[in-house]
């Protein structure tokens, strides 16, 4: 039985690594992350910078000695992000009534989902307030990155030269090229 649990866990981690790296890849394509994230390995055609970025943060998470604290930090963040995504579905149902939707679900389903998610988020704070605050801090670290990387425009030439030098260095070291 323990072998099946280990295999299942390995499969779950493998799937998470693949999907997370693809999310970073698309974010690079959409200019929501550095453009280098959207580059592919020239022979394997894989988004190597996004995979390396995901692996780096995965290793960083392993530095936390208490697994339950890590689960509380990231579980809170995950439920918060997912509930915001579903809440946007509800908001768009009201504010963009005429929008074309390829998939439409009964309105009660997102309402129930947001309610259950709110329950989990609130009880995360009640049960483990410090870990939940650390989760909020993890989310807050993205704010300066977003402000500097996305909204700050036009960027000074010296800054852009540094970014270009890092991009060219990564292209040479990892054998990368833009997708198109």
> Per residue in 97-128, pLDDT tens?
888 888 888 889 999 999 999 998 898 888 88
CA distance 110 to 99: 17
Do 27 and 159 form a contact (C-beta atoms < 8 A)? no
pTM of the shown model: 0.73
List Cα–Cα distances, 80 to 85, 117, 135, in angstroms: 9, 8, 10
Q: How confident is the model at residue 83 (pLDDT cuts 50, 70, 90)?
A: very high
pLDDT above 70 as % of the chain = 100
């Amino acid at each position: 039985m323990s072998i099946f649990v280990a295999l299942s866990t390995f499969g779950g981690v493998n799937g998470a690594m693949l999907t997370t790296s693809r999310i970073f890849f698309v974010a690079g394509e959409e200019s929501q992350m550095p453009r280098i994230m959207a580059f592919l390995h020239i022979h394997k055609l894989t988004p190597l910078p996004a995979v390396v970025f995901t692996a780096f943060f995965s290793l960083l998470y392993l530095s936390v000695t208490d697994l339950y604290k890590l689960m509380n930090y990231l579980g809170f963040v995950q439920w918060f992000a997912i509930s915001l995504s579903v809440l946007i579905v509800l908001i768009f149902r009201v504010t963009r009534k005429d929008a074309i939707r390829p998939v439409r679900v009964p309105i009660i389903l997102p309402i129930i989902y947001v309610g259950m998610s709110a329950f989990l988020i609130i009880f995360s704070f009640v049960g483990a307030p410090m870990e939940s605050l650390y989760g909020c801090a993890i989310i807050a670290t993205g704010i300066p990155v977003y402000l500097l990387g996305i909204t700050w425009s036009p960027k000074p030439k010296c800054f852009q030269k540094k970014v270009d030098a890092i991009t060219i260095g990564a292209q040479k070291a990892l054998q990368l090229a833009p997708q198109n």
